[in-house]
Amino acid sequence: MILCFDIGGSAIKSAVAHSNADIRPLTRTPTPLDDFEAFAVALAAHRAAAPVEARSALALSITGVADPESGIITCANIPCIDGRPLAADLEARLGCSVTIANDADCFALSEAVAGSGRGHRIVFGAILGTGVGGGLVIDGRIVAGAGGYAGEWGHGPIAATLVGDPPVEIPRFACGCGLAGCLDTVGGARGMERLHRHLHGAERSSADIVEAWLQGSTAAARTIECYVELVSAPLALVVNIVGASIVPVGGGLGRVPRLVGRIDAAVRRQILRKTNAPLVVPSQSTVESGLIGAAILGLSEERRVSSSD
């Protein structure tokens, strides 16, 4: 039994994990952003509310990247933990073991073990939410990679600059990572809105664009056509490189089955392995995929430690 957390820029959510299939929500509180002491106190309060048996080990899914070697966290959304060896700092403060993973990695792990990736050896979890993210799981284990950045397919100057039929030029939009032309600039919800504005000169939310497309709007269909082309080619390259046999899609855009189906068809046309089976699929995880992934990760670590004793 362990205590697991899903920590974002708005809220800290906790649950007690008895097993991979038995995860019981505990409580939710606002995330302290600028005061590490307040952040640690908030986690301590969640821990105090948990059964005694669950207090010896904490597993955190967090919006940010942990360097596997140094343990240093890069997290712009929560300034008070950015640049800290967070696991070590929390272990010293709380007096228990702490395991930390990126939220996209936890999503991929939850899908690989308990979602649409069950039975697949290599699972790439793709996030199409506000932006673009992802995580890689092989043989039930997260592959974090150097610096902890494995799976971050949204960054790198790879977005196409000519898409659609007839072709239209797409600018190399500046990205928050400091580069230009990243998939993240056109591939998430904000990217879809930017793309629609570029194509049609109109401001619409991604939800409105998708709904208009589903209702037969010609303008929205043009945006979706270009969007699918922009996203599918980099995703096909990811599949070729890592050899994933399933790609669960999470995030708000991942909850639109018709859109995911269009991306799936486009990706399967562009990969080397030819298959008629669905490859890019909607995730089966609930909105609590961070808690599920953190629980799976923490329970696995608990078993590893127990077996080595």
State how far the alpha carbon of 185 is from the alpha carbons of 128, 152, 153, 158, 173, in Å.
12, 13, 12, 11, 6
Same domain, 31 and 93: yes
Tokens of 150: 């494995």
Same domain, 260 and 187: yes
pLDDT (tens, 9 = 90+) of the chain, 309 residues, equals 899 999 999 999 999 999 888 999 999 999 999 999 999 999 999 999 999 999 999 999 999 899 999 999 999 899 999 999 999 999 999 999 999 999 999 999 999 999 999 999 999 999 999 999 999 999 999 999 999 999 999 999 999 999 999 999 999 999 999 999 999 999 999 999 999 999 999 999 999 999 999 999 999 999 999 999 999 999 999 999 999 999 999 999 999 999 999 999 999 999 999 999 999 999 997 668 899 999 999 998 877 767 766
CB–CB of 46/70 below 8 Å?
no
Classify 151 in phi/psi space as left (phi over 0), alpha (psi -120 to 50) or beta. Answer: left
At 201, which amino acid appears? G
Same domain, 192 and 158: yes
Same domain, 252 and 303: no
Same domain, 274 and 300: no
Q: Facing residues of 62 across strands? A: 7, 102
The range of the structural domain enclosing residue 201 comes to 116-282
Same domain, 212 and 82: no
In a domain, 111, yes or no: no
Tokens of 50: 């948990």
Same domain, 162 and 14: no
Same domain, 147 and 186: yes
Domain CATH code at residue 300? 3.30.420.40
The SS3 call for residue 109 is helix
In a domain, 44, yes or no: yes
Number of domains in the chain: 2
Same domain, 100 and 201: no
In a domain, 43, yes or no: yes
Same domain, 155 and 236: yes
